[in-house]
Amino acid sequence: MMNALIATRANKCLRSDVLAGLSLRRKRLPSKYFYDAVGSRLFDRITDLPEYYPTRTEIGIMHANAGAISERCGSRCLLIELGAGSATKVRILLDRLDRAAGYVPVDVSGEHLRAAAATLAADYPYLDIVPVVADFTTRFAVPERPSRRRVVYFPGSTIGNFDPPEADALLRRIAHLVGEGGGLLLGVDLRKDPEVLERAYNDAAGVTAAFNRNLLVRINRELGADFDVQAFRHVAYYNREESRIEMHLVSDSEQQATVGSTTFDFRAGESIHTENSYKYDVAELAVRAGACGLRLDDTWTDARGYFAVLHFTATPTA
């Protein structure tokens, strides 16, 4: 009964967000809806692509600095992972944390999350694992567990999917969630050669294109829409002024699509903006996070300076 209620609520949110986004002068869809079961599996494939450096670079940083990172998290911490997905990177932490009080993976894709949590539970039978199906951009309840400290783990530079005001609001919510003295372990993609960035989002195998189009597949399936999915092409490019990769679905021709009782017109060449991925400068991010109640303590990066893992502590002003 509870799962059905959650599913109904999620469907209403999807419908509302889709109708609102497609009604804008510049059409836009929230990137959080990429991650149904199919989208989550496609993203797992993306992370293994030769062009897509962020995942393997972040994992390399985590392996190289696992001891220091785990020490910074502290003993008996309650680890809360936002956008947990397949929960692969967190294993590096779980293998080194000192008597973790529990692990709370949070993800909007319930099916994918529960499968990942079940696999983890089999491999870490001593660990209290409590998956939470929720949209972490909104308020959600964290199970109470006796712990010395709460630490939010937010890898993958997912923070980059949020426009700056939204990212700042999320950082403030995280500071409040962990409480004074709590921690945030954050993975961020750094600014670099735009050619490297654009290759990462335009893979030769077309997996990112399938991932992008799957958003329309999901809307067709869950909302009874009639998008001609193949009539939209995947486009990703670096916006230098905004310091972000933008992903779009571009209409190949003049066409219409209906969602429920609402019909939307598309001009040839008109796009649906589906995702931003902001690239960061650590010093600038530290200033912004500080204004949100999070003090930067440690920075770990790779030799090329492509990616960084940062640890913040929530301050009394949070």
Q: What is the pLDDT of residues 258-309, one digit of tens each?
A: 999 999 999 999 999 999 999 999 999 999 999 999 999 999 999 999 999 9
> Is residue 184 within 8 Å of 152, Cβ to Cβ?
yes
Neighbours of 268 (CB within 10 A): 10
Q: What is the 3-state secondary structure (H, E, C) of the chain?
A: CHHHHHHHHHHHHHHHHHHHHHCCCCCECCHHHHCCHHHHHHHHHHCCCCCCCHHHHHHHHHHHCHHHHHHHHCCCEEEEEECCCCCCCHHHHHCCCCCCCEEEEEECCHHHHHHHHHHHHHHCCCCCECCEECCCCCCCCCCCCCCCEEEEEECCCHHHHCCHHHHHHHHHHHHHHHCCCCEEEEEEEECCCHHHHHHHCCCCCCHHHHHHHHHHHHHHHHHCCCCCHHHEEEEEEEECCCCEEEEEEEECCCEEEEECCEEEEECCCCEEEEEEEECECHHHHHHHHHHCCEEEEEEEECCCCCEEEEEEEECCCC
Confidence of residue 6 (pLDDT cuts 50, 70, 90): low
pLDDT value of residue 161: 94
Give the mean model confidence (pLDDT) for residues 223-251: 98
56-192+285-314 homologous superfamily: Vaccinia Virus protein VP39 (3.40.50.150)
Does residue 70 register a pLDDT over 80? yes
Nearest to 43 by CA among 206, 208, 232: 208
pLDDT value of residue 86: 84
Confidence of residue 87 (pLDDT cuts 50, 70, 90): confident
Q: pLDDT tens digits, residue range 166-224? A: 999 999 999 999 999 999 999 999 999 999 999 999 999 999 999 999 999 999 999 99
pLDDT value of residue 144: 87
Does residue 20 register a pLDDT over 90? yes
Neighbours of 94 (CB within 10 A): 17
For residues 190 and 43, what is the distance between their CA atoms, to the nearest angstrom?
20
46's torsion region: left (phi>0), alpha (psi -120 to 50) or beta? Answer: alpha
Percent of the chain having pLDDT more than 90? Answer: 86
Confidence of residue 75 (pLDDT cuts 50, 70, 90): very high
Does residue 4 register a pLDDT over 70? no
Q: pLDDT tens digits, residue range 126-151? A: 999 999 999 898 888 898 888 999 99
Nearest to 13 by CA among 174, 5, 273: 5
Query: Please, what is the Cα angle at 84 between 223 and 132, to 5 degrees?
Result: 70
pLDDT value of residue 129: 95
pLDDT value of residue 109: 81
Q: Where are the domains of the chain?
A: 2-51+198-278, 56-192+285-314
> Is residue 133 within 8 Å of 160, Cβ to Cβ?
no
pLDDT value of residue 128: 95
The mean pLDDT of the chain is 94
Confidence of residue 2 (pLDDT cuts 50, 70, 90): very low
Does residue 7 register a pLDDT over 60? no
